[in-house]
Amino acid sequence: MRTAFDVAYEGTPTWEIGRPQAVVVRLAEEGMLAGSVIDMGCGTGAHALLVGARGQRVTGIDFAPAAIARARAAAARRGIPARFILGDVLALDGPADTPPAVGGPFDTALDVGLFHVLQPLERRRYAAGLATVVRPGGRAFIVAWSDRNPFGYGPARVRRADLRSSFQAITGWRVDAVEPATLETNLHPGHVHAWLARLTRR
């Protein structure tokens, strides 16, 4: 099935800023992106490659073939041994015959801009699937476009409460914090509002 993302990746998507998001660079500098890392909805790989360049084991998963192809090409060009898997993150937990073979469990998961494109009813399934690929005690960091942005453009505006209710205990997570953050895009000069959720796998 061809999605809006396949169309977006024919050109330069609005979220492609040609460098890692500052919020992710800061997480890395804080030591939060520890150990083996999985990047959910990795796109063309900027964040997975940031982690890989630090010498850590890293896997990116995305369902857009063009994004995965570009991520693999960038890894080869830069000599970074990152793995990029074509697959649907919603198939990690559920009735799919063959869940994507991401490997793991990982120490840390990162999601920059994937959670906020899911339908509200998909969010808990995503949370449960994410729990299957992160080890108990591992961490996850979700950066999502927030409801503090004005209406009329962008993906779903996620509320702090949406993050808290999607990652509640039954899905395997503890929500440690949901903090104001920013995301850069090509659409807007400067930054847009986001939430950074910090989670721990129970």
Would you tell me which residues interact with ligand SAH (CB under 6 A)?
A: 5, 15, 41-43, 46-47, 61-64, 67, 88-90, 112-114, 117
Token readout for 71 is 């991520």
How many separate helices (H) and strands (E) can be counted in the chain?
Answer: 6, 7
The three-class DSSP label of residue 20 is coil
Minimum CB distance to ligand SAH smaller for 178 or for 183: 183
Q: Which C-beta is closer to ligand SAH: that of 89 or that of 158?
A: 89
> For the residues of 92-142, what is the DSSP string, one character each?
SSSS-SS-------EEEEEEESSGGGS-GGGHHHHHHHHHHHEEEEEEEEE
**Closest distance to ligand SAH from the beta carbon of 141 (Å):** 12
Backbone region of residue 138 per phi and psi (left: phi > 0; alpha: psi in -120 to 50; beta: other values): beta
Q: How far is the CB of 114 from ligand SAH (least distance, A)?
A: 4
CB of 121 to ligand SAH, least distance (A): 13
Q: Based on CB atoms, which residue is closest to ligand SAH, 42 or 127?
A: 42
CB nearer to ligand SAH: give 71 or 175. Answer: 71
